[in-house]
Amino acid sequence: MIRIGMVDDRAYDLEKLNAILQTEPDVDIVFAVQDAEEAYSLVKTTKPDILFADIEMPNLSGYELADLMHTHAMDTAIVFVTANSGYAVHAYELNVLDYIMKPFKKERLLKALDRYRERRRVRQGRDVLMVRHQSDIHFIRKEDIIFIERTGRSTTIITPDRNYETYQTLNELEEQLAGGDFIRAHRSYLIHIRHVKHFSLFGKTSYRVTFHHTNLKATITKEKLDELKRHFF
C-alpha cells in the first residue's frame, strides 16, 4: 500500500485530491488536513509514503513544511500541488517527487503516483539499503545485514562490522528489503535467512535465532518459522 497524507488550506482542493486518490486500489489516505503545522505533526506520527501539499498556506507554508521534513531527513516523498509556479526551482532543491500546477486533471495527479511506484521499485531492486539517522545517511550492503531489531522508537541494524541506529520503522525497512532473503520473523525483528545458524525453542509460540558473525540473537514466531521452512528450505 501507498500511505498518503494531504494538506491544503482550501477545502475544495483537499476534497478533489481525496476524491481522486482514494479510487486507487493501492492507496491508503492516512490524513487530510487544512493546516501545515498539523500536517507536520501527523507526518511525524503516521509516517506517510507521500505528502501532497499546497505551498501558499497561512502560518506555515508548504515550502517551509517541506524544508522542515528535509532537514530532519523524514522518509516521506513530497508532491507540491499549487497555483504558483514561482517555487519550482527551490522545490527541486528539496528533492520533491513532483510539482503539480492547479487546476490539475486526474491524469496529472495519477502520474505523480506512478512516479512514486517506479521510485519504490528501483529502491527495492538496489543492492544497498539507505538508512537515515538524524543528519547522517548510511548505505549498507543488503548481503551484510544479519538482522534488524526494533526497540521502542529506535531500530538497530546488525552487520558483522558494526550496528547502525535509525528512527526508520521496520515497515519502512521491510519495504526496501522486499523480494530478497529477508523475513519479518516477529513484530520486532527482520532476519536475513542466509545468516541464520540455529533455531531453539523459546516459549510455547516462538524460537530464538542465532546467527553467524554475531553473538546477538533474534526471535521468530512458530508461524513465521513454518512459513520460512515452506518457502526457503
pLDDT of residue 188: 94
Helices (H) and strands (E) in the chain, counts: 7, 15
Give the end of a domain, one of 90, 125, 160: 125
Nearest to 61 by CA among 42, 84, 44: 84
Assess whether 71 and 174 both reside in one domain. no
Assess whether 218 and 157 both reside in one domain. yes
Residues 99, 88 contacting (CB under 8 angstroms): yes
Assess whether 11 and 117 both reside in one domain. yes
Number of domains within the chain: 2
pLDDT of residue 35: 97
Assess whether 8 and 110 both reside in one domain. yes
pLDDT of residue 120: 82
Residues 58, 71 contacting (CB under 8 angstroms): no
pLDDT of residue 158: 97
Residues 184, 149 contacting (CB under 8 angstroms): no
Assess whether 79 and 101 both reside in one domain. yes
Domain with 62 in it: 2-125
pLDDT of residue 40: 96
Q: What share of the chain is helix, strand, coil (3-state, %, to 5)?
A: 35, 35, 30
Assess whether 174 and 196 both reside in one domain. yes
What's the pTM?
A: 0.60
**Whole-angstrom distance, CA of residue 20 vs CA of residue 183:** 34
Amino acid in position 105: K
Give the end of a domain, one of 94, 125, 156: 125
My answer on whether omega of the bond before 103 falls inside 30° of 0, hence cis, is: yes
CB atoms within 10 A of CB 159: 18
Q: What is the CATH number of the domain that holds 105?
A: 3.40.50.2300
**Whole-angstrom distance, CA of residue 188 vs CA of residue 152:** 9
Residues in the chain, pLDDT under 70:
73, 124-125, 179-180, 230-233
Assess whether 201 and 141 both reside in one domain. yes
Assess whether 119 and 199 both reside in one domain. no
Q: What is the CATH number of the domain that holds 200?
A: 2.40.50.1020
pLDDT of residue 191: 95
Assess whether 25 and 121 both reside in one domain. yes
pLDDT of residue 233: 57
From the number of C-beta atoms within 10 Å of its C-beta (0-12, 13-18, 19+), residue 212 rates as exposed
pLDDT of residue 85: 79
pLDDT of residue 88: 74
Give the end of a domain, one of 125, 149, 170: 125
